[in-house]
Amino acid sequence: MSPRVARAASDRGRVLVVDDDPTLRDTLALVLADRGLDVRTACDAHQARERCDGCDVVVTDVRMPGEDGLQLARTLVTRPDPPAVIVLTAFGGFDDAVAALRAGVTDFLSKPVPTPELIAAVNRALRLHGARPPASPEVPTLDGASLAMGRLRDRVARMGPLEGTVVIHGETGTGKERVARGLHAASRRADGPFVAVNCATLPEALAESELFGHVRGAFTGAVTDQPGLLRQADGGTLFLDEIGDLPAAVQPKLLRALEERSVRPVGGGREVPVDVRVIAASHRDLAADVEAGRFREDLWFRLAELELEVPPLRERTDDVPELAEAFLEQTVATEGLRVTAFSDEAMGCLCAWSWPGNVRELRHVVYQAAALADGPTIGLDDLPPRLLRPHAEIAAPTLDHVERAHIERVLASVGGNRTAAARILGVDRKTLYRKLLRP
């Protein structure tokens, strides 16, 4: 393996953007840098040759003064350790594509290039060249213009800096772990570890050892000391997902650890202090579990110093377009697909579905649709049949609901400035106020 490729395997991918148009050059550079890439720029082929050492990918315009992009590509691919080359052109055609392939380029894209298509092409080039593409950003499930998500973001921002334990309520698939991560990021423990565990996956016989650790020889198979999850999260946050499934025998021990701020490893003879904030979550009604005797009341009161409710997606369908587009961009970037958009009919179908599986179901639907799409646009035929059946359980929005959702998105885009929103919507301010006040 060459030194450059060995470096790329552990470093950020390095990309050189070559274009004589400074506005386009800087725009492309910002788009790529936002994805975690190390980006350089050059205004022509001569400058590109000087700056491409150590680069994994070169993204170049075809038509430039002097030496064009195809000539540059032919020069670069003859180097001992050549970068992958992607060419962009506003004059795309079959002959240009053939010429580009003969010049040894990796990809040939027509301007204007949609962001997802550019990212996908760069990621493909990085993989082909032995470099590691940047990790795709997690879809921001706390984003959205809906009032429900605005309230949730506000409460996360308020609760994050506090030290109290938090219980997050919400249906399966609503993004409770994302909320927990948001609380951790907003806390004074943000630089510490965030450790997550699903209590439903903890074997009852090993749950105590997993949480509190064990010493060597504590039981058959305990060949070394293990710190346990609470100590792994020391100085940070421990997220206990599906806390309602925590074995009953372990619940009083967790309560004691929270009260005493220390743990005793299985088989150990002394307490070990821990400094950890616990955030718990459940899709179940924990208060009802307490009433039924399935969950300890004292542990419930200790955990629920603060409580948050994550709304199901059917109650915030205004956020579906934003989430769907974010999931599509993520899928395109990770899988190297060329899908760039949804048809109006497909997006309307997504907005009308009731989403029993919440955000997780939406992510899976977008992934499958992007994989099946024949062209650059996801259509109705690419969506799962259950979304299309007339007798399916569909929460069809009213016209007023759709209008209100559009108004809220426009308001969010202009930072709540109602005068600017009215101008964009083509109505006067009185009409906008009347529509906002309508129930």
Predicted pLDDT at 119: 78
> How many angstroms separate the CA atoms of 407 and 182, rounded?
27
Beta-strand (E) ranges in 76-192?
A: 84-89, 107-110, 166-169
104 token code pair: 């040894």
Q: How many CB atoms lie within 10 A of CB 377?
A: 14
Residue 1 pLDDT:
31
Would you tell me which CATH number, out of the four given (1.10.10.60, 1.10.10.1100, 1.10.3720.10, 3.40.120.10), belongs to the domain 399-437? 1.10.10.60
CA-to-CA distance for 431 and 282, rounded, in angstroms?
A: 43
Which pLDDT does position 391 carry in this prediction?
A: 36
Q: For residue 167, what pLDDT is reported?
A: 96
- DSSP state, residue 338: -
Say how far apart CA 214 and CA 225 lie, in whole Å. Answer: 6
CB-CB contact of 360 with 314 (8 Å): no
What is the CATH number that goes with domain 3-128? 3.40.50.2300
Residues 214, 219, 224, 228, Cα dihedral to 10°:
-20
User: What letters, b where the CB count within 10 A reaches 16 and e where it falls short, cover 299-329?
Assistant: bbebbbebebebbbbeebbbbbbbbbbbbbb
pLDDT at 2: 35
Residues with Cβ < 8 Å from 298, sequence gap 6 or more? 255
Per-residue pLDDT of the chain (439 residues; tens, 9 = 90+): 333 333 333 356 889 999 888 878 887 887 787 777 888 998 888 888 888 888 889 998 888 888 888 888 888 888 877 888 888 877 655 455 555 566 567 777 777 777 667 777 787 778 766 666 665 545 445 667 778 888 898 899 899 999 999 999 999 999 899 999 999 988 988 888 899 888 988 877 778 888 888 777 766 666 677 888 898 899 999 999 999 999 998 999 999 999 999 998 887 778 889 999 999 999 988 989 999 998 999 999 999 999 999 999 998 888 898 899 889 988 888 788 888 899 988 998 999 899 999 999 999 999 999 999 988 899 999 999 989 865 344 445 556 666 777 777 777 666 667 777 777 777 776 676 667 666 5
The CA-to-CA distance between both ends of the chain, in Å, stands at 65
CB 70 within 8 A of CB 77: no
Domain definitions of the chain by residue range: 3-128, 147-311, 314-387, 399-437
Do the domains 3-128 and 147-311 sit in the same CATH topology, yes or no?
Answer: yes
> Cα–Cα distance between 12 and 56 in angstroms, integer?
10
pLDDT of residue 10: 37
Domain 147-311 is in which class? alpha beta
Residue 433: its pLDDT value, please? 67
Tell me how far apart the alpha carbons of residues 383 and 369 are, in angstroms, rounded to a whole number: 5
Q: Tell me, what's the pLDDT at 373?
A: 92
67-to-29, 50, 63, 102, 104 alpha-carbon distances in Å = 21, 14, 8, 17, 16
Domain 314-387 has CATH 3.20.20.70: no
Look-up of token digits 């497909």: 346
Q: How much is the pLDDT for 236?
A: 92
